[in-house]
Structure 1
Amino acid sequence: MSVKHLPKGSPFPPLTPGMMRMYNMQFCPFAQRTKLVLEYKEIPHEVVNVNLKYKPDWFRARNPLGLVPTLELGDIVVNESNVCNEFLDELYPNRKLIPSDIVRRARDRMLIETFGQVTGLFYEIPKSVAEGTQERPVKKWRRHMKRYENELQQRGEYFGGGSPCMVDFALWPWFERLGVITVIAPETDVTSEEYPHLSTWIARMMELPAVKKTYINPRGHINFFKTLREGNPDYDYVAA
């Protein structure tokens, strides 16, 4: 549906009966998590891009926190990326992403939950580089990367083994954005010499149709991150 990110004062785009709607911001990694699941499971859906600095009232009515992703289907509204993805995996059981085995499911959830410590480093590392204090956060980064490297070594081609699971799609958006921090701190790069399994996984993920459909190149992410830090996020930037 909308390509431009709709700001406050924009009219509400009418719902299509029976169609899953996703409220999105194209540069948000959390929203990309859910877009990846929608694409991988080939779920018919429509996307409404929202200006998160000047949010429309109709969006706040659906999600008082004003966050993406938010899903809407009939009178059902779901938000928070992990909750949205679990909802989609239950509602559309084709190409299951969450394992039925309770131990494996718990291990997968731990990998996703603790990855929150990595996402914070995308903001901490650039700030620390500017202050000349990057040694500690870079060490934290390398420790986390080693953990996921070891996990992939045990699991196979994907975190799901021979095919992607929810872990793959929950983590991928930040690996797509590696250029945001490697351009500032080259020692954070995921090289084939230091992380052979992770680097191979990145290349393999890039070949998935769902990733290709949601992919934004490094120039786009770097530009958006720059405008975000300046306080005037360019939501509608198109990276050629």
Structure 2
Amino acid sequence: MSQKAYSQGSTFPATKPGVLRIYSMRFCPYAERTRLVLSHKNIPHEIVNINLKSKPDWFLALNPLGQVPVLQIDDKIVPESTATCDWLDDVYPENRLQPADPYRRAWDRVYASYNGSLLSNDPFELHTNLEGVKKHLQFFEDKLRARGDGPFFGGSKPCIFDFMFWPTFVRLPIIAIIKENPAANIDENEFPTLETWAKAMKELPAIKDDAFDVERHAIFFRGHVKGTPDYDMFLDE
């Protein structure tokens, strides 16, 4: 199946019985969360990318909000990144990502909510208030250090929140590039626990297989800001 994004007027790509599908967009941080969980848990799936500026009618029929990610298998449809990640962990319980401790699981939900405030309603519009960004990072620095069983928020192994936070964290340096402000770069000496976490995350096969580097994210982001995002960027390389 082509990685190119399906747009308005395209024909619905027929599903196959029993085959899990994710409707995604290659640069979307929310869809990236779900793709990372799929990859980390080695769940067989196919990917259908969507042009979010010119959404196909058949995609809007699946999710009237017009947002990715959306999971589909047979007659089951699950939208939204948190719901899709939790559903995948419940339906495919091997290599469990949700903490067994209810208290820890509850706090992971709190972390996810706080992480969400780093992104506006537009998933690519990062806050440019550096003090606000650093306040969020300090929160996660302190919480991860307090858990004390790292390097991951899940301890010796990643949990769902690790994959929820990563797409946000990896996009923060875009501020430094777009605003041409080196001060926006994350100082590893200021957040040493998060730096150790980031190094451990980068070694995970799911991260290596899915992630773009910050420069490519910035190239896409510039097009998005101008209203001309290229959803098929870099596919011809």
Judge same fold: TM > 0.5, yes or no. Answer: yes
Of 136, 139, 146 in structure 1, the residue corresponding to residue 138 of structure 2 is 146
How far the C-alpha of 1:142 sits from its partner, in A, is 1.0
Letter in 2 for 1:222: A
**Structure 2: which 5+ runs fail to align?**
none
Of 176, 190, 215 in structure 2, the residue corresponding to residue 194 of structure 1 is 190
Q: Is the 8 A contact 1:206 1:212 kept in 2?
A: yes
**Structure 1: which 5+ runs fail to align?**
127-136
Q: Is the 8 A contact 1:122 1:181 kept in 2?
A: no
Q: Is the 8 A contact 2:30 2:68 kept in 1?
A: yes
Alpha-carbon deviations, 1:107-142, whole Å to 9, x = none? 11000111112123973544xxxxxxxxxx211111
Q: Is the 8 A contact 2:22 2:69 kept in 1?
A: yes
C-alpha distance in structure 2 between counterparts of 1:99 and 1:238, whole Å: 37
RMSD: 1.6
Residue number in structure 1 paired with 2:231: 235
Q: Is the 8 A contact 1:190 1:198 kept in 2?
A: no
Letter in 2 for 1:86: D
Residue number in structure 2 paired with 1:178: 172
Q: Determine whether 1:18 maps to 2:10.
A: no
Letter in 2 for 1:159: F
- More helix as a share of residues: 1
SS in 1 for 2:42: coil
Aligned residues: 230
Of 154, 160, 167 in structure 1, the residue corresponding to residue 161 of structure 2 is 167
Letter in 2 for 1:200: T
Residue number in structure 1 paired with 2:89: 89
- Give the TM-score normalised by the residue count of structure 1: 0.91
C-alpha distance in structure 2 between counterparts of 1:41 and 1:89, whole Å: 8
SS in 2 for 1:147: helix
SS in 1 for 2:125: helix
Moved over 4 A (4+): none
